[in-house]
Amino acid sequence: MGSGKLLLPIILHFVFISHAFAQSIIQVSPHKTRIAADHKIRVNDGLYCESWKFSIETNDAGSWNNIPSRCVKFVQDYMTGDRYLSDSDVVSEYGLDFAKTVNVSGDVKDAWVFDIDETLLSNLPYYEVHGFGYACDKGIDRDFYQMGSECNVGWTLPRDVFEWTNSFWRSEVFDENSFNDWVDLAEAPALPASLNLYNELKQLGFKIFLLTGRSEYQRNATEKNLLFSGYSGWEKLILRSHLDQGKTATVYKSEKRSELVNQGYRIHGSSGDQWSDLQGFSVAKRSFKLPNPMYYIA
């Protein structure tokens, strides 16, 4: 990072100069060349980030830890714009289309399994102030962004200059403590598409199981949050017990689905934002992968 620290003031100087003159430059100049180059980088980043998103959402990328720095702004735009809601809506519509084809039996054994985080509940308010996995853990002012090659470097930039320079950002490591504080608040809103599907499935007579990677000690806060955000009437809420600690999500969730199957349940559908919600053994007849370009859980 040494050379990065030396270069950064020079680059920042250049960016500020370019920014100040951006509106008035008509003639060919070094500034204009710089702007054109920046624009080209941005355009190519957009194309690359669409492709990166394709690869993570299809699980082609396998396990990943960080949003590529050039895609941080892309993820922010995706999550806070129309696309995240629209993608979730269409996934839920396909889920409901399938559910309506199921001949729900009178034996109350027709089941649907939902994950919780980024499936029933949206933690977007948390990730918004934790930089969608890309900012330092200090909170972000709405009009200015902190920027630096290290988290303890405190330059601030106007929003539009930030947009030129987002490739300097790096991902935030997931902080379990601050996330657990957020869970305890029990204020995560429902993902609207999932709340709608959930209620439709109840109407159709499905028994609904909630299978989450959250731990047993978070049961009260989780129930409180689910009720607060509009969910009710689930058959069972399954959380990690001390016996499940250390297992991958795929193994833990497969084992729990297997227990349901052994109890005679037919798992018709499963909804989750992670492939580890959907793959493994005792899988549902149909799986519904919700979008999540913010993080990956194995």
Minimal distance in Å, beta carbon 57 to a copy of itself? Answer: 6
Q: What are phi and psi of 52, to 5 degrees?
A: -60, -45
Q: Is 58 in the site for a copy of itself (CB under 8 A)?
A: yes
Among 130, 207, 256, 289, binds a copy of itself (CB under 8 A): 289
Minimal distance in Å, beta carbon 55 to a copy of itself? Answer: 5
Among 11, 33, 50, 217, binds a copy of itself (CB under 8 A): 50
Among 14, 54, 174, 217, binds a copy of itself (CB under 8 A): 54
Residue 19's SS3 state is helix
Six token digits for residue 46: 């957009």
Name the one range near a copy of itself by CB under 8 A: 15-23, 166-174, 196-204, 284-292.
Answer: 284-292
Minimal distance in Å, beta carbon 296 to a copy of itself? Answer: 13
Tell me the β-bridge partners of 269: 112, 286
Best CA proximity match to 280, nearest among 233, 211, 222, 230: 211
Alpha helices in the chain (DSSP H): 2-21, 30-57, 72-80, 82-101, 124-128, 159-164, 176-185, 192-204, 219-228, 249-262
Closer CB to a copy of itself, 42 or 224, in the complex: 42
Q: Is 291 in the site for a copy of itself (CB under 8 A)?
A: yes
Those residues whose C-beta lies under 8 Å from the C-beta of residue 62, and which sit 6 or more positions away, are none
Which class for 202: exposed (0-12), middle (13-18), buried (19 or more C-beta within 10 A)?
middle
Six token digits for residue 20: 């100040």
> Site residues for a copy of itself, window 79-138 (CB under 8 A)?
82-83, 86-87, 89-91, 94-95, 98
Q: Is 62 in the site for a copy of itself (CB under 8 A)?
A: yes
The site for a copy of itself (CB under 8 A) is made up of 47-48, 50-52, 54-55, 57-62, 82-83, 86-87, 89-91, 94-95, 98, 286-289, 291
